[in-house]
Amino acid sequence: MKKGLIILTILVMLLPLLTACWNQKELTDLAFVMAMGIDKGKDKKFKVSFQLVNPGNVTAGQGAGGGGGQGLPIAVYRSTGDTITEAARNATKKVSRRLYYAHTNVVVVSEEIAKKELIYILDALDRDPEFRTTTEMVVARGCSAEEIVTTLTILDRLPVNKITKQIKASEAMLGENTSVNIDDFILGVVSKGKQPFLNGYRLIGDKPKARTADNLTKTTTDAYLASDGIAVFYQTKLHGWLDKEKARGVVWLRDKIKSTDINVEWKKKKKAIVVAPLRSKTKISIKFIHQKPVINIAIESEGWISEANTDIDLNNPEIISKIDKLVEKEITKEILTTVKAAQKLKCDIFGFGDRVHLSYPKRWKKLEGNWPEEFANLNVNVKTNFYIRREGIRTLPIWSTMGK
């Protein structure tokens, strides 16, 4: 009985320690940072723009285009500092709530930051336990990071959702972008056999009108955000850009292609046939010939004919086989053009060096110290196999009945 009383007394004494959360935060005391834009000011300080959500104006189910209240869905506050931490602390002079980063989805950096200063912000983003390193990072191309995070968008009430969704849509349907988060970028920075890259983002149109409510009241906006190429880095410094087919080649080589469109010529008519891949698999292997690494790339892909703008018999297996070969030629050309562009920049964004390291660790020790030069002179072979699995719901094109 006495032993039981002692245990009960101890339990009662421990109860106060178990009844509360030591770091609880009231929602009304928090300002949710959805996106951050980082520029360099004229005073050489970091100029940080914080895109904060106005919860009452993004409530679903009210009004057109996603609903919400009568006000703007976001508010943007600007702050400066010699460091990112200082800029964030200085922002509290303007914001009545504590900045909360657990829901930050995008970090935008200007080209100036990307060329010189990116190393000085990575540690702050990676070290803060409240900040998620799965956050998307993009480079503002031809505009400031502030302009990106202050632009209002129609279809998505929160501009940050426009960026993340659009990158995923581009990856799925066009193949010129692929999602890159802070973790992905840092892994590229610390790796000796792979260099990092980021998606580019641009503000197109009448820039001053991009941040006004009028931009939300028209069917065609005065300004809009769009993805624009892939920014290639050597460690933490921007070295150049890859656009359109060259950007798509990066996604092919990273084995991230889900679908895109490939135009082929038929009987001297350019873009006569459009083929859309449905499934694709990229395999990369390494061989050493005369003490030099050789990269062998094998692509297996299949798709369907989405357009036939010429008189052609798609019921003929021989013709389908010829189209397969033409598509293979286009894909191979695209891959080699992308590799050469990256070699010119001496930036191995494909991870060829990592593959050499894994397959030939002893030989890698001799190569890693001079890998940028080795990469620039690599011999790369590409073998593509493409198969058309269907021609859509029409076999003979309309052109065949017109005799054209």
pLDDT (0 to 100) of residue 92: 86
Q: Are 45 and 80 in contact (CB under 8 A)?
A: yes
Q: What pLDDT is stored for residue 108 in this prediction?
A: 96
Residues 194, 348 contacting (CB under 8 angstroms): yes
Cβ(330)–Cβ(262) below 8 Å: yes
Delimit the CATH 3.30.300.210 region(s) of the chain: 244-404
Residue 389: burial class (beta carbons within 10 Å; 0-12, 13-18, 19+): exposed
Angle, in degrees to the nearest 10, between helices 119-127 and 182-190: 120
Q: How far is CA 167 from the centre of its chain?
A: 6
Helix and strand tally (H, E) in the chain?
13, 13
Beta-carbon contacts of 360 under 8 Å, excluding residues fewer than 6 positions away, are 286, 288, 293
Sign of CA dihedral 354, 355, 359, 362: negative
**Distance between CA 153 and CA 161 in Å, rounded?**
9
pLDDT in tens, 128-161: 888 888 999 999 999 999 999 988 888 887 888 8
Query: How far is the C-alpha of 139 from the C-alpha of 106, rounded, in Å?
Result: 11
Amino acid at 185: F
SS3 of 355, please?
helix
Strands 46-53 and 74-81 come out as antiparallel
* Mean pLDDT for the chain overall: 86
Which residues of the chain, if any, have pLDDT below 50? 22, 61-67
Q: Are residues 226 and 199 in contact, defined by beta-carbon separation less than 8 angstroms? A: no
What gap in Å lies between CA 16 and CA 22, rounded to an integer? 12
Q: Beta strands of 216-261 (E only): which ranges?
A: 223-234, 237-242
Pairing of strands 262-266, 237-242: unpaired
Query: Which residues have C-beta within 8 Å of that of residue 369, sequence separation ≥ 6?
Result: none
pLDDT of residue 376: 95
Out of 3.30.300.210, 3.40.50.720, 3.40.1800.10, 3.40.50.300, the CATH code matching 244-404 is 3.30.300.210
Share of the chain above pLDDT 90, in %: 53
